[in-house]
């Protein structure tokens, strides 16, 4: 069994639960024990930097602010569905009151939800929608709009570059992630109305930057160095791989607009340096904090704060009360007014080393 990124006390807690003990402890910001107000946060992977750098700390801080005696069971599955299943089993064995679950595999996660249902433990589907399951809440962004923003930015940029009818490479996210399907749906709704042609298209397992780099190398071999005008890439981690493939082939990435998502620090730095054209900023701090508010209310047996739920989403099983947030397209022109203004990244974090001059040119710093 792969252990994944568990906190120490989580692994100890599994043993304690098996012995029927009321275990408690601490580690890496998480509380311990299977207390009356125990909350589980199960995240899917760490290749995308947002989960450990943004989602987890914002969620944990908000839980502790709202409920100082609430304990948090945290685990990261490192892209392994079976590991996430084991982690969920451990959390349920600990007697958590609510599962906040961002699934590795949206479909197979239904079995986790079924076990939680059997124990009357509510499930909050976090960031990725768990399909065909009796979940209680869903919180994410307008993910179709994410894809639209990416494609609209790429179409507009290529049009201004005189490449309105050019060929692009399309590097989509993991086929097991329902969000990836929504991003692709949104992007295709724009691309199909444009004159752009898709020369090569890939669905990238595990959102792997390394795999995206390999895919882009294959596309360059097939299309030729001058055979594509830009790249639709579903997130910043993979954009880094795609851009590395361009550089390896002797292609200046500033001449081939590339999209991204998540406003990762490296992505923002590449945008300012002219290597990546755009990203999509999602207010992950708000998402994590709202998820924590829902989880604390459930754990305490209170009503979910009024005004949070703003939509209902069909997951194939039911109409799920949802919190759907609005994504924002970010280019070099509005980095200062988005991610810096919101405190998502600071100028000191962004403008390090070789990026200092790029920040100065963009009026940042």
Give the C-alpha distances (Å, rounded to integers) separating 53 from 27, 82, 184, 249, 263: 16, 24, 26, 32, 12
Confidence of residue 20 (pLDDT cuts 50, 70, 90): very low
Quick check: 6 pLDDT over 80?
A: no
Computed over every residue of the chain, the mean pLDDT equals: 91
Q: Report residue 36's pLDDT band, with 50, 70 and 90 as the boundaries.
A: low
CA 362 to chain centre: 27
What CA–CA distance (Å, rounded) separates 185 from 138?
20
Nearest to 89, CA basis, from 176, 165, 26, 13: 13
Decide if 65 contacts 31 (C-beta within 8 A): no
**183 and 82 belong to one structural domain:** no
Residue 7: which pLDDT band, with cuts at 50, 70 and 90?
Answer: very low
Question: What is the spatial distance between Cα 250 and Cα 8, in angstroms, rounded to a whole number?
Answer: 45
* pLDDT given for residue 108 in this prediction: 87
| pLDDT tens-digit map of 124-183 | 999 999 999 999 999 999 999 999 999 999 999 999 999 999 999 999 999 999 999 999
- Lowest average pLDDT, out of 16-30, 223-237, 330-344, goes to 16-30
Dmax (CA) for the chain in angstroms is 68
The token pair that represents 319 in the structure block? 């109409």
Q: What is the pLDDT of residue 107?
A: 83
Q: Does 149 share its domain with 254?
A: yes
- What average pLDDT does this structure show over 11-38? 42
- Residue 33 predicted with pLDDT over 70: no
Indicate if 337 and 231 belong to the same structural domain: yes
243 and 159 belong to one structural domain: yes
Write the pLDDT tens digit of every residue in 110-121: 999 999 999 999
Residue with tokens 């568990």: 6
What is the structure's pLDDT at 8? 35
Q: What is the pLDDT of residue 27?
A: 34
Based on the domain organization, do 188 and 229 belong to the same domain? yes
Tokens 């958590």 locate to: 96
Q: Lowest-confidence range among 9-23, 265-279, 351-365?
A: 9-23
Cα 314 to its chain centre, rounded Å, is 20
Residue the block writes with tokens 């100028």: 347
Residues 356, 293: one domain?
A: no
Q: Whole-prediction pTM value?
A: 0.86
Same domain for 160 and 82? no
Of 185, 167, 327, the closest CA to residue 260 belongs to 327
More confident site: 33 or 365: 365
Question: The domain containing residue 80 runs over which residues?
Answer: 5-141+284-325
Q: Does 312 share its domain with 239?
A: no
Query: CA 291 to CA 211: how far, in whole Å?
Result: 31
Q: Are residues 262 and 273 in the same domain?
A: yes
Q: How far is CA 92 from the centre of its chain?
A: 24
311: which residues sit within 8 A by CB, 6+ positions away? 322, 323, 324
Q: In this predicted structure, what is the pLDDT of residue 37?
A: 72
Q: Are residues 133 and 200 in the same domain?
A: no
Q: Record the tokens describing residue 200, joined without a space.
A: 């090569």
- pLDDT, residue 24, reads 30
What's the average model confidence in pLDDT over 21-42?
A: 53
Residue 223 belongs to a domain with what CATH number?
3.40.50.2300
Distances (CA, A) of 282 to 33, 221, 354: 33, 34, 26
- Residue showing tokens 């992505």: 267
82-134 tens-digit pLDDT: 999 999 999 999 999 999 999 999 888 999 999 999 999 999 999 999 999 99
DSSP string spanning 282-332? --HHHHHHHHHHHHHHHHHTPPPPTT---EEEE-SSSEEEEEEEPPEEE-G
pLDDT of residue 197 exceeding 60, the answer is yes
Q: How many domains does the chain have?
A: 2
């Amino acid at each position: 069994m792969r252990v994944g990124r568990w906190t120490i006390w989580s692994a100890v807690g599994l043993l304690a639960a098996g012995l029927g003990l009321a275990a408690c402890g601490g580690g890496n910001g998480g509380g311990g024990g299977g207390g009356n107000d125990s909350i589980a946060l199960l995240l899917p992977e760490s290749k995308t930097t947002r989960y450990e750098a943004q989602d987890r700390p914002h969620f944990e801080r908000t839980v502790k602010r709202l409920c100082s005696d609430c304990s948090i069971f945290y685990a990261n599955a490192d892209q392994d569905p079976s590991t996430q299943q084991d982690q969920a089993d451990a959390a349920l064995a600990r007697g958590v009151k609510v599962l906040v679950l961002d699934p590795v595999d949206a479909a197979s996660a239904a079995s986790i939800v079924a076990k939680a249902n059997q124990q009357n433990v509510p499930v909050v589907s976090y960031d990725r929608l768990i399909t065909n399951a009796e979940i209680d809440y869903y919180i994410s962004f307008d993910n179709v709009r994410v894809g639209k923003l990416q494609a609209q930015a790429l179409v507009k940029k290529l049009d201004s570059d005189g490449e309105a009818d050019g060929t692009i490479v399309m590097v989509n996210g993991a086929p097991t992630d329902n969000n990836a399907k929504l991003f692709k749906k949104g992007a295709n709704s724009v691309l199909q109305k444009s004159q752009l042609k898709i020369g090569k298209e890939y669905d990238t397992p595990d959102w792997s930057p390394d795999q995206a780099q390999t895919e882009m190398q294959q596309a360059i071999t097939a299309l030729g160095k001058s055979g594509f005008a830009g790249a639709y890439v579903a997130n910043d981690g993979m954009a880094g791989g795609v851009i590395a493939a361009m550089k390896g082939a002797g292609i200046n990435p500033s001449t081939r607009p590339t999209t991204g998502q998540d406003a990762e620090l490296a992505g923002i730095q590449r945008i300012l340096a002219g290597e990546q054209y755009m990203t999509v900023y999602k207010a992950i701090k708000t998402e994590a904090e709202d998820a924590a508010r829902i989880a604390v209310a459930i754990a305490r047996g209170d009503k979910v704060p009024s005004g949070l739920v703003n939509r209902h989403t069909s997951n194939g099983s039911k109409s799920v009360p949802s919190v759907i947030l609005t994504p924002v397209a970010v280019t070099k022109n509005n980095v200062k007014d988005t991610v810096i203004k919101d405190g998502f990244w600071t100028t000191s974090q962004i403008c390090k080393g070789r990026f200092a001059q790029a920040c100065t040119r963009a009026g940042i710093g």
